[in-house]
Each structure stands twice: as structure tokens, then as C-alpha cells.
Amino acid sequence: MLRRLALAATLFASFPFAHAQLPAPVAQTMKLNGIADHEVGVLVLRSDATVLAHGERVAMQPASTMKLVTTLVSLERLGPVFRGRTELRSNGRVEGGVLRGDLVLRGGADADLDGKVLEDMLRALRYAGIERIEGNLVLDRSLFQPARQDLGAPPFDEAPEAYYNVIPDALLVNKNMLQVDMRSTSGSLALRMHPELDRVSLTSEMTLVDAACAKWEAGWKLPEARRQPDGSVQVVLRGTFPKNCVHSYGINVLDRDDYVGALVRRTWQGLGGTISGRTLAGTTPPDTRLLAAHAARALPEIIRDTNKLSDNALARTLLLSLGSLQADPLEGSLPLPAPQEGVTTQARADAAIRDWMRSQRIDDAGFVIENGSGLSRTERITPQQMGQVLQAGLRSQWAPEFQASLPIGAVDGTMRRRLQDSPAAGRARLKTGSIRNVVALAGYVPDAGGTPCVFVAFVNSERAGEGRGRAVLDALVDWVARSGTAQLPAPVQPQAPAALQPVL
């Protein structure tokens, strides 16, 4: 009896009850960094018991921790062997090495679709004896509705050309990125681009300046893609660039139909083939036959890249896949959803997420999901809802696959440089989140006795940046890792603000 009472007293001291004050080291770190109590939402669960709850019912901006919802529901609904798929199809006949008809490139949310994949698919046509295509190149993005969510979309921030801002579609090749290599001397700037594209050129209006190469972004201006009178496209780099500097940077500035069409044509020419027709956006006729196909890696590998690296384009592709595809697509065809006039893929994805939440008895009141990546000012979730999602992740049939996708504290992904001096190092699996005025962490943190705790913490504050909000979150993680039934190490010391770059 005395032993049980002593154990209960230890648990009472180590794990405050719900709605208790935040732990002293955390409260001190918040005060030091100027972050108010109401700007923080926290939930820590040990088994089914609430260890710490603070503002847990308030819907807050989760930043990239929203990827946890997207990836777990994708595993649950699409299954671990789900693969996106790309197809080359045609209803034309082949005569004497000539395909007499259109060549259709049909997108199926293939997260691994890149130039090498495209080359392999086109090479399969050459192996089949096709040399000339006497028809159009038709790009079918119709799996998602609308097919081009990027058209007319306002930029999220001042860097719409950056990879993290890419808006996906069902036929996204190389993530629509053009890699530009910039090499300057004291008086000249040499440019190269990869991949090389048919009728696309790269030029510069940049001014060379005396500046540190490491500060090259200070003079960078948004590049432009200018269509020329002959129909070719000129990508123009603008701003300033340091003298005697070498840097490579990926940009998303080309219209994606221009990008894919130019890449297919350049690749097909390199294989000795020709295309006589135009590049058109369209849909796949029902009487086409399969000429070549590619399947992406299995879903657990995709969600690992999504969460470890906080990849927004992958997360958004997964969300849209939930609204358009079924589990385990059959070889030879893409399982298209039943037509629903006026219902967008985004709306169907939202319904799929909420249906799953309700199946787990998670109240979706106040929950808002816009694109599933957290790169949003409208997405909202409460710490309680996120905690319940993570509890469902522990119960899931695919729990090992889900947990393996999370960054490990002080080891890899977006957590590789954090918690290095904490007992959570090498043990905590946490998804990070960061946009302007928001930092977040959510995942699993073992306590001092090795018992895994569900951990959710959001900071929504004007003072969340420059390392201040991150210091609060890391103090919370450290507190959980030092708590429990084992002998308690010395508490973490409050951290002063540190100038750190946000990490999604």
C-alpha cells in the first residue's frame, strides 16, 4: 500500500492534472520570450490520461503539423500499397514506326514523376517501334477538379517561385521546378538551366554587385517567364547578384503546360523521335490503349518524405488523392471517382477527412483543412483534436508506417538540430510546424520511464518567430521527457530568444 501511495505521489508531482498551470521551466521560458498564456495551446496524454492541458479546446493555426492529419488519413483510407500512377495512352494506330493519332500523357497523382521517369516511359515507345507521332501531345490533368488549382491563385507569400509554394496537380513533373545555375566573375554572369527544355531559354537582367555570396538572396527579384512572338518562352532572372559567386536555385515560374510539353518534346527528340502536332490540355478518350506506365513508390515512402522533410507539395497531392482516388489502384487503369457535378476534389477530400475523424469519434467542430500541408492562414485544429488524431495513429493498423515517417529529435528531418541536449534526443518523434507568427510541434515523446506520451503544442503569437516560440516548445518537450516515474533529472533552463530560421 505504501509503495502504491508513493508511486501515486510521484505521478502527481511529475504530471500535473488537466488545466493545471504550465510547468515552471516552460512558464519561465514563455515570460522570457514575451509569449502570453493565451497564445499557447498544449495537450500531453499518457495512455488515456491527460497529463497536461492548456487551451486544448481552442482552434489554432497548426502550420505543418497539419500534415499529420493528411498523412495518417491517407494511410488509413488509401492503404500502404497505394501508388499514384502516370500513363501514356493513345487511340491511334501504329504503322511503319508512325503513331497516327494523339499521344496522351495522363496524370494520376504520381508523386515521383520526374524527367527520368518521363524519359523511361518515352523510351518504351521507341522500344515498341514508334519513331514519329503524327498527332498532338495531350496533357490530361483531369483527375483533380479543378485540373489547375494554381491558375489565378493568390501567392501565399513573397516567394511564389519557391518550391515550398508549388500548388500540385495530377500531372506534376519535376514539381514544375527549373534549376538555374548562376556563376559570376567580377564582370560577367554565366547561366545554365536544368532540365533543358524545347524552345525555353534562360537570360539575365541581373546587375552584378559587391556583396557576400552567402547574401545573394538580398538582391533577388521574382523571375519572369516571357512568351516571345514566335511562341518560345524566355525565363528572365532579375535583381542583383554578387560578383565572384556561384549558386544554384530552383524556381517555379513556367506555366506547367509549357514545362511538360517542352520537356516531353526535348526528351523525345533526344531519343530520335518527332511529334508533328501541338501541345494541348485535354482528357483521355475512353477508347485509348496503354502504351507505357509508371507507378510511384508505395504510400509509406511518400509520407516519410512528406513528414520528415515537411514537403508541402507532397502533402497537398496526398490530400487531393483522398478526394479523387481509391485504395490500391489496379494495374492498367486509374480508378476515377464517380462524377459529381459541382463537387471539387478539395471538397471530396475534406469530406473524406471528416468522415475518418468521426469514425474515430473525433469531434470535427472548428476543424478547417484548406490544403492539408499547413501552408495556410485558414487551417485550424484544436490541440485536443490533434491529440486524438495522434492517439488514433497509435491504434492504427499502420502505426509503424506512420510513426516511422516522423522526424526524430536531434537525428533527422526537420528535428535534426533540435533537442540535442535533451533526454528527448533520439527518442521523440515530432512533426514541426512554422509559418509567420506560428510555431508548432506534435507527435510522440517518451517520458523518463519510457512510456510514450502524445504531445501537441501550438504557439500562435506575433512573437513566435526568431526562435522565441521554438524555445517554448522545446522546453515543453524537455519537461515531458524528464517527467514520469524514473528519477527526475535537473529541469531544463529557460532559453533566451535565438535568431533561428523557421522550418516548416
- Whichever domain contains 359, its CATH number is 3.40.710.10
Q: Inform me whether the pLDDT recorded for 210 exceeds 90.
A: yes
Domain final position from 259, 276, 295: 295
Burial letters 323-358, b for 16+ CB under 10 A, else e = bbbeeebeeeebeeeeeeeeeebbebbbebbeebbe
Residue 66: predicted pLDDT: 98
Q: Inform me whether the pLDDT recorded for 484 exceeds 80.
A: no
Q: Are residues 441 and 377 part of one domain?
A: yes
**DSSP for 75-104?**
HHHH-TT---EEEEEE-SEEETTEEES-EE
Q: Are residues 267 and 166 part of one domain?
A: yes
pLDDT for 42-58, tens place per residue? Answer: 999 998 899 999 999 99
The number of domains in the chain is 2
**Average pLDDT estimate for 266-283:** 97
- Assigned domain for 314 exists: no
Cα 222 from Cα 246, distance rounded (Å):
19
Q: 272: domain CATH number? A: 3.50.80.20
Q: Inform me whether the pLDDT recorded for 149 exceeds 70.
A: yes
Cα 221 from Cα 94, distance rounded (Å):
48
Domain final position from 295, 314, 335: 295
Nearest residue to 241 via CA among 326, 328, 181 = 181
**Average pLDDT estimate for 184-209:** 97
Query: Running DSSP on this structure, what letter comes out for residue 163?
Result: G
Q: How confident is the model at residue 12 (pLDDT cuts 50, 70, 90)?
A: very low
Q: Are residues 205 and 177 part of one domain?
A: yes
Q: Are residues 271 and 197 part of one domain?
A: yes
Q: Inform me whether the pLDDT recorded for 6 exceeds 50.
A: no
Q: Which residues contact 86 (CB under 8 A, 6 or more apart)?
A: 105, 106, 107, 108, 110, 113, 117, 121, 171, 293, 294
Q: Inform me whether the pLDDT recorded for 459 exceeds 60.
A: yes
Q: Are residues 259 and 351 part of one domain?
A: no
- Assigned domain for 141 exists: yes
Kindly state the cell numbers that stand for 361: 469519434
Q: Are residues 253 and 352 part of one domain?
A: no
- Which pairing describes strands 289-295 and 85-90: parallel, antiparallel, or unpaired? antiparallel
Structure-model confidence comparison of residues 132 and 327, the more confident one: 132
Q: Are residues 170 and 94 part of one domain?
A: yes
Per cent of the chain over pLDDT 70 is 89
- State the amino acid at position 486 in one-letter form: A
Range of the domain at 25: 16-77+345-482
- Assigned domain for 102 exists: yes
Q: Are residues 411 and 379 part of one domain?
A: yes
Residue with cell 497505394: 82
Domain final position from 253, 269, 295: 295
Q: Are residues 424 and 286 part of one domain?
A: no
Q: Are residues 367 and 400 part of one domain?
A: yes
Residue 333: predicted pLDDT: 41
Residue 258: predicted pLDDT: 97
- Assigned domain for 488 exists: no
Q: Are residues 257 and 143 part of one domain?
A: yes
Q: Inform me whether the pLDDT recorded for 232 exceeds 80.
A: yes
- Assigned domain for 316 exists: no
Q: Inform me whether the pLDDT recorded for 488 exceeds 60.
A: no
- Assigned domain for 95 exists: yes
Q: How confident is the model at residue 10 (pLDDT cuts 50, 70, 90)?
A: very low
Nearest residue to 441 via CA among 461, 414, 412 = 414
Question: What is the rounded average pLDDT for all residues in the chain?
Answer: 91
- Assigned domain for 268 exists: yes
Cα 103 from Cα 292, distance rounded (Å):
11
CB 436 within 8 A of CB 377: no
- Assigned domain for 37 exists: yes
Q: Are residues 92 and 70 part of one domain?
A: no
